[in-house]
């Protein structure tokens, strides 16, 4: 079954919606330049309202390993997602501080980008169009068979999610702007996206 990650949640009503939809993962964005940024105090309040069966992911862009580890140790996040220029040395330093799963995002523009991503020591890789949360789809034809767990991101929506799953069979799908209207999470689009993903996954069984 394809895993779901609904990213960029900032409001209590967003949490109430995901508690009803029950995705495997949700995302809190800790990159200060993002319009979806939440500070640790906000994230703590949102986490407290999140159902225990849903794993909160912290999304970071070139943050220090120590700052990331503080959020993990405090129980605000269960998974780390790196969206900057973090290299293998950074991952080694972070693993000395935390034992939780690490997702590393990669921008895909050439087949070589996919091969580099597949060599990452991260627990999971995420393939995106670049920038994060831009709503842009990259060229899926660049994806050769990927023999490790990976998330698909970039321009996903209720309209194309099912096709993406049938064509590419990712471990999971990650969406943010595709479930928004005017930059705000849209509950109906969230419902439609989850329904599309689960419907496609069920038809594959």
Reported as a single tens digit per residue, the pLDDT across 24-50 is 999 999 999 999 999 999 999 999 999
Contacts of 66 (CB under 8 A, 6+ apart): 97
Catalytic annotation, pick one of 7, 14, 100, 174? 7
Write out the CATH class of domain 3-204.
alpha beta
Concatenate the DSSP letters of all residues of 37-68 into one string: B--HHHHHHHHHHS-TTSEEEEEESS--HHHH
Catalytic annotation, pick one of 14, 100, 128, 174? 128
- Catalytic residue list contains 128: yes
Note the pLDDT tens digit of each residue in 71-110: 999 999 999 999 999 999 999 999 999 999 999 999 999 9
């Amino acid at each position: 079954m394809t895993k779901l990650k609904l990213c960029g949640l900032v409001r209590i009503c967003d949490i109430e919606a995901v508690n009803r939809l029950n995705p495997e993962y949700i995302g809190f964005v800790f990159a200060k330049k993002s319009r979806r940024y939440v500070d640790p105090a906000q994230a703590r309040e949102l986490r407290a309202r999140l159902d225990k069966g849903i794993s909160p992911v912290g999304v970071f862009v070139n943050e220090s390993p120590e700052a990331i580890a503080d959020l993990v140790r405090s129980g605000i996040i269960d998974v780390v997602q790196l969206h900057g220029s973090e290299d293998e040395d950074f991952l080694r330093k972070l693993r000395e501080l935390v034992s939780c799963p690490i997702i590393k995002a990669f921008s895909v523009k050439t087949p070589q980008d996919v091969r580099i991503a597949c060599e990452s020591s991260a627990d999971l890789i995420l393939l995106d169009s670049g920038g994060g949360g831009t709503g842009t789809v990259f060229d899926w034809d660049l994806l050769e068979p990927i023999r490790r767990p990976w998330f698909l991101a970039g321009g996903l929506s209720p309209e194309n999610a099912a096709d993406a799953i049938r064509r590419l069979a990712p471990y999971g799908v990650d969406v943010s702007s595709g479930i928004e209207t005017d930059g705000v999470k849209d509950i109906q689009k969230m419902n439609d996206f989850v329904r599309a993903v689960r419907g496609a996954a069920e038809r594959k069984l």
